[in-house]
Homo-oligomer: A and B are copies of this chain.
Amino acid sequence: MPATTNRQWVLAKRPSAQISADDLRWVESAVAEPAEGEFLVRNLYLSCDPTQRKWVGGNTYLPAVRVGDVVRSIAVGEVALSRDPRFRPGQLVQGLFGWQDYAVVRSDFGSAVTLVPPDVSIETAMSILGFTGLTAYFGLLEVGRPRQGETVVVSSAAGATGSAVGQIAKILGCRVVGIAGGTAKCRYLLDELQFDAAIDYKSENVITRLREACPDQIDVYFDNVGGRILEAALLHLALRGRVVLCGGIATYNDPQAPGLRSYLNLIAQRGRMEGFVVLDYLPRAKEAIEVLSGWLREGKLKNRVDVMHGLENAPVALDRLFAGKNVGKQLLHIADHDGN
């Protein structure tokens, strides 16, 4: 039986820059009852993703979180009560359950609730075999389309998506250069993930270092940050180079971020810059998960998670992404499985 209190982080107003305490409200209320066709989920883990900053900022590829609503978040939880015959109490499910202990869910068309496979840990299901892995897999393969021997550069390379992108590119036989902040992350890319080169954007000149690390220029740049690093990569794009726009964390908190000037290099280089949203590829998730699972089993792909604890820390955990504190997938553990 569920507890009777639901703790929630609710959006109090739209943030103007970084999400601050003023933008959120902590609310405690009775757990809602699922109606016919609905089920109740008890959240166990929350996923921390840069895109959450966009969701509370305004309409994007999803409608904006409304002021007064629970902050939107991918989560894994346990079905606690069910009035939907397709879901049974005790099942582990993943979906957009939000920053709260309990969510009442109606699994309509488009709600993207998936079952966590029984042979996979929750942490793996929320990282390399979840949206993060799918983002890396489809963004790199379908939008970037790297060929063996090409040079692939990825930013936020020690982050969840970036580290998967770089490793997949290595498996495909590419030269891989990662851009990350700080010596420790760069060492991780070189020593543990076997990248060919790593650039520390905090202490190195990215334009100069890209030139050194990519003697044949950049065939695929997988961009997680936008801003000046995207600017630098565009300047060094190879002929018919491709830029995969996955996210722009460097700009999400800064409405005054300077614009991109080097886009005209796309003309001279016959380059392509293309955005994508992983949700479009969910119908093909099975294919990606099979391939990624195989690489994990063979030890070709390493997965790292960075776990904080406690629902009260949700804003702090999310902020770690923007401060570049996480290595691997940032998760927030808020309750134990079977721990009613």
Please judge, given known A-B contacts A245-B263, A257-B261, A260-B259, whether A275 and B270 are in contact too, CB under 8 Å.
Answer: yes
Q: Mark A52-79, 1 if CB is under 8 A from B, else 0.
A: 0000000011000000000000000000
Chain A contact residues (Cβ within 8 angstroms of B): what range? 20 to 34
A268 interfacial by beta-carbon distance below 8 Å: yes
* Nearest CB in chain B: distance from A62 CB, A: 9
Q: Is the CB of A266 within 8 A of B260?
A: no
Among A231, A263, A272, the one with the most B-chain Cβ atoms within 10 Å of its Cβ is A263
Please judge, given known A-B contacts A272-B272, A273-B274, whether A245 and B259 are in contact too, CB under 8 Å.
Answer: no
Which residues of B are found within 8 Å of A266, using beta-carbon distances? 245, 273-275
A251 interfacial by beta-carbon distance below 8 Å: yes
Which residues of B are found within 8 Å of A273, using beta-carbon distances? 263, 266, 272-274
A85 interfacial by beta-carbon distance below 8 Å: no
Which residues of B are found within 8 Å of A246, using beta-carbon distances? 267
Q: Is the CB of B280 within 8 A of A275?
A: no
* Nearest CB in chain B: distance from A110 CB, A: 15
Q: Which residue of B lies closest to A246 (CB)?
A: B267
How long is the Cα–Cα vector from A257 to B275 in the complex, in angstroms? 24
Q: Is the CB of A264 within 8 A of B248?
A: yes
Q: 11 A-B contacts, Cβ less than 8 Å apart?
A: A61-B268, A61-B270, A247-B267, A259-B260, A260-B261, A266-B275, A267-B275, A268-B277, A270-B277, A272-B272, A272-B275
How long is the Cα–Cα vector from A272 to B61 in the complex, in angstroms? 15
How long is the Cα–Cα vector from A187 to B263 in the complex, in angstroms? 32
* Nearest CB in chain B: distance from A57 CB, A: 11
Q: Is the CB of A248 within 8 A of B267?
A: yes
How long is the Cα–Cα vector from A226 to B263 in the complex, in angstroms? 9
* Nearest CB in chain B: distance from A185 CB, A: 24
Which residues of B are found within 8 Å of A263, using beta-carbon distances? 226, 245, 259-260, 263, 273
Q: Is the CB of B272 within 8 A of A280?
A: no
How long is the Cα–Cα vector from A61 to B274 in the complex, in angstroms? 21
Within 8 A of B (CB), among A238-296: 245-248, 251, 257-261, 263-277, 280
How long is the Cα–Cα vector from A268 to B58 in the complex, in angstroms? 12
Which residues of B are found within 8 Å of A247, using beta-carbon distances? 267
Within 8 A of B (CB), among A205-252: 226, 231, 245-248, 251
Q: Is the CB of B264 within 8 A of A245?
A: yes
How long is the Cα–Cα vector from A261 to B271 in the complex, in angstroms? 19
* Nearest CB in chain B: distance from A215 CB, A: 18
* Nearest CB in chain B: distance from A117 CB, A: 28
* Nearest CB in chain B: distance from A246 CB, A: 7
Among A226, A251, A261, A271, the one with the most B-chain Cβ atoms within 10 Å of its Cβ is A261
A259 contact from B61, B258, B271, B280, Cβ within 8 A = B258
Q: Is the CB of B276 within 8 A of A267?
A: yes
Which residues of B are found within 8 Å of A267, using beta-carbon distances? 60-61, 245-248, 275-277
How long is the Cα–Cα vector from A302 to B276 in the complex, in angstroms? 38
Q: Which residue of B lies closest to A269 (CB)?
A: B275
* Nearest CB in chain B: distance from A28 CB, A: 34
